[in-house]
Amino acid sequence: MAADELLLQHAAALGQAVLRFYSWDQPSASFGYFQRYADVEDLTGLRPLIRRPTGGGVVLHDEAEWTYSLTFPPAHPVWQLKAEESYRCVHEWVRHAFEVCGVGTELCPETRATGPGQCFVGAEKCDLLFIGQKIAGAAQRRNRDGLLIQGSVQAKSTGIDREAWEIAMLAESDWSEWQPGGSFIDESTSLAKRKYATNVHNQKR
């Protein structure tokens, strides 16, 4: 969460989109920035509970879940899209990556009944569906620094290997590997300790 927040802060300075894949070292749950902590406690027994810098509902993370983030600078065409369009654009990209891997998925045409505060109960418009079930969702935060999209893919039912999917995602554009400097790593480590690992932040509302 700290690394994603810093990528958003530095998006304009970096001047180009950044795609980051990551995973969780223990079963955890993240929840939207505007959710009430007391409500989230009732929705899942997973701990720790971590407040994201983006909106959305509760997402359960384990070894079978694939997490990614995308940051776009203000000059990027995706930043200039309305929220629904940037959401659709990213999930169309995820959908095509599954297609490259030999799995057919589709964007949800309209919002379905959803579980209050729960990301993977029901589906929002433009979420990714596999055989009618949601397998990918995302949350956004857009400000003058840029656009941050945090996505979750729960693709165990598809039988696709994560590495193959990541390769397919990267094949969509001309990406080059970016190695963050020591100062970025130190700053994200510090931010994680003083913010995202604290009750003050996670239980702030």
Per-residue pLDDT of the chain (205 residues; tens, 9 = 90+): 999 999 999 999 999 999 999 999 899 999 999 999 999 999 888 899 999 999 999 999 998 899 999 999 999 999 999 999 999 999 999 999 999 999 999 999 999 867 767 888 889 999 999 999 999 999 999 999 999 999 999 999 999 999 999 999 999 888 999 988 889 999 999 999 999 999 999 999 8
Angle at 189 between CA 186 and CA 194, to 5 degrees: 125
Strand residue runs (E) in 33-104: 49-51, 59-61, 66-72
pLDDT at 173 (0 to 100) = 86
101 included as an active-site residue? no
The third-level CATH classification (topology) of the domain covering 2-177 is BirA Bifunctional Protein; domain 2 (3.30.930)
| Whether 17 contacts 7, CB under 8 Å | no
Task: Compute the Cα dihedral for 78, 80, 84, 85 and give only its sign.
Answer: negative
- As to burial, measured by CB atoms within 10 angstroms (0-12 exposed, 13-18 middle, 19+ buried), residue 164 is middle
What 108-114 contacts at long range (C-beta under 8 Å, 24+ apart), as own/partner pairs, is: 108/134, 114/57
pTM of the entire predicted model:
0.94
Of 89, 101, 108, 119, catalytic: 119
